[in-house]
Amino acid sequence: MSYTISNYILDRLKELHIRHVFSVPGDYASIFLETLVDDKDIELIPNINELGVGYATDGYGRFNGAAACSVQYGVGTFSILNCFAGGLVERVPMVLIGPTLSTTSMELERTKGILFHHSTGDLSSNYEAMKYATIMAVQVEDNETGPARIDEALTAMISFKRPVYIEVRQNVFGEPCTPPTRPLSVDSFDSNPGNIQAAVDAAWEKISAASAPVLWYGIDIQRFSLQSSAQALVDAGHLLFTTTSLGKTVLDETQPNFIGTYAGPASPDYTRIVMAATDCPIALGAIITDDYLDIMRDKYDLMIEASGDEVRVGREHFWHVPLAAFMEGILGKIKAEGLSPLAYPTRPAVPAPAPLSPSASLTYELFYAVMDRWLVAEAHIKESILILGESSSLYVFGNLMGLPANSFVAQAAWGSLGHETGCALGIELATGKRPLVVAGDGGFMMVCQEISSLARQHSNAVVFVMSNASYTIEQAFVDIKAFSPGGQFAPFDLLPKWDYLSLAKAFGADGYSVGTVGELAALLNELSAPSGKPSLVEVRIPQKDLPPQIRRLATPGSPLQARRHRGM
């Protein structure tokens, strides 16, 4: 049997330590999938639909450093586009191996007007669409130039931690080629030594004059393996640090210099106090979303911001300054010159947790309190990864303290509903750790069938669904008065009531429903030992329960409320 383009792709994926490829099959990709099944060193992971494929690939890429999937031409590509757009925004290295028509079929469509199945009639439509959701899209049109195109895309993916698209003609998958002769290389950001020095000097002038500089870390610290450098800055300068919601747990959060995750008005009290007092926020590797309108309005001129290959010091911009080089330069300044005595706000004493009544009906806050004790005090988080969706729970659980590094995932920038449940399978396969998912019922309804994918792989994931039959966070931004007595929810923010126990049984999972503190605590004890099956847990909460974090975010007049609801 000859060595083919399909073999070449698989060898390159294995070189990147990819051992699983997620897929919904299609005839245009059958040659590739057959070759994949025959390869004993990489496993095909079937999914139920393309959204599940994309989310699982995303989860795998966040922890493995690279991920791959394949779906059908046309219908599959356009379905998975959303997932790749999320990966582009949130710096996830993932590749879609996308089939297209064979060379012969393309010619027939061009010359005879035959519309092949799943084709729009525009032979470049998949390729052109994926350009907008990836850092690079390439077309493999023959077996001579194909290997170079494949290498070009994969190099971009691992170098810049972004998704790529490799489109391969149906017949070319099976055409012979030469195996790789050398490993893939990693490109680096363009670098200008003079600009690096100028950026470091300008930033140091601000930092050294500040009385309360705060390090504000983002997801690029993890994506580009800069955790050691980030920790060194904390240690050398005795600096306080926070993270974005997306970057939560890029560093170990059990250390005393961590002030809590910064999420604007949804932050813990002490985090908000420190960020209000800082005279030099230092945002490193952070994606600044509209959660941070307050600080961008109030502290823009005081801020230092570095990401990719750009640095901003106040209103001065420096280009071709890679983040790693900038951090190294600042660390050198701290070690050589030291910092003036720092004057941070005094951290208040943490009160002992209040006793919880077992008979109390669950709310967002009580669910959080019970989970906090189970995850942190009882240390279940050490062998788990907590996954939050674009829901009210994200802002509640973003307040958690004491988490170990790399233990929290939230699609906090792109915010695609259902991501939390869909990515759990990829995260578990990449890490071997147990996914603990907290989903809103609206997000869960988008991808509920992924419980079946988890069951198929004998996953130990636990999916908690906050069941209140509404889009809580959406309603809060539309009209927070709906949560007052007599208030009415907008009809478009209401959801149907589901029978989650029956749903779990149908999908091959264990199903549970809890509505009190005691029921939840007892169930958590039961779930402490993994069973080899996923668990689906309905968490019954009142429809009008609104956590204080969301209440602060959605208060009329707040910048985020004005932007989200009125576009102001």
Binding residues: 441, 468
Q: What is the distance, to the nearest Å, from the Cα of residue 496 to the centroid of all Cα atoms in its chain? A: 28
Burial 537-563 (b: 16+ CB within 10 A, else e): bbbbbebebbbebbebbbeeebbbbee
**Whole-angstrom distance, CA of residue 389 vs CA of residue 235:** 32
CA–CA gap between residue 395 and residue 123 (Å, rounded): 43
**242 HSE (CA, 13 A, CB side):** 29
Going from the C-alpha of 170 to that of each of 53, 97, 124, 141, 326, the distances in angstroms are: 20, 11, 14, 9, 45
C-alpha–C-alpha distance, residues 403 and 261, integer Å: 11
Distance between CA 323 and CA 89 in Å, rounded? 18
Asked if residue 425 lies in contact with residue 56, where contact means CB atoms within 8 angstroms, the answer is yes
Query: Measured on CA atoms in the order 396, 400, 405, 407, is the torsion positive or negative?
Result: negative
Task: Give the chain's radius of gyration (CA, Å).
Answer: 25
Burial 468-492 (b: 16+ CB within 10 A, else e): bebbbbbbbbbbbebbeeeeebeee
Positive or negative, the Cα torsion across 542, 543, 546, 550?
positive
Q: Which residues are annotated as a binding site for Mg(2+)?
A: 441, 468
Q: How many CA atoms lie within 13 A of 110 on its CB side?
A: 9
For residues 239 and 212, is the Cβ–Cβ distance under 8 A? no
Helices (H), 19-102: 30-38, 50-64, 75-89
325 and 237 Cβ atoms separated by less than 8 Å: no
Q: Is the dihedral of CA 35, 37, 43, 44 positive or negative?
A: positive
Amino acid (one-letter) located at 328:
E
DSSP string, 1-14: ---BHHHHHHHHHH
* End-to-end Cα separation, the chain, in angstroms: 63
Max CA separation in the chain (angstroms): 78
Residue for token pair 């590739």:
32
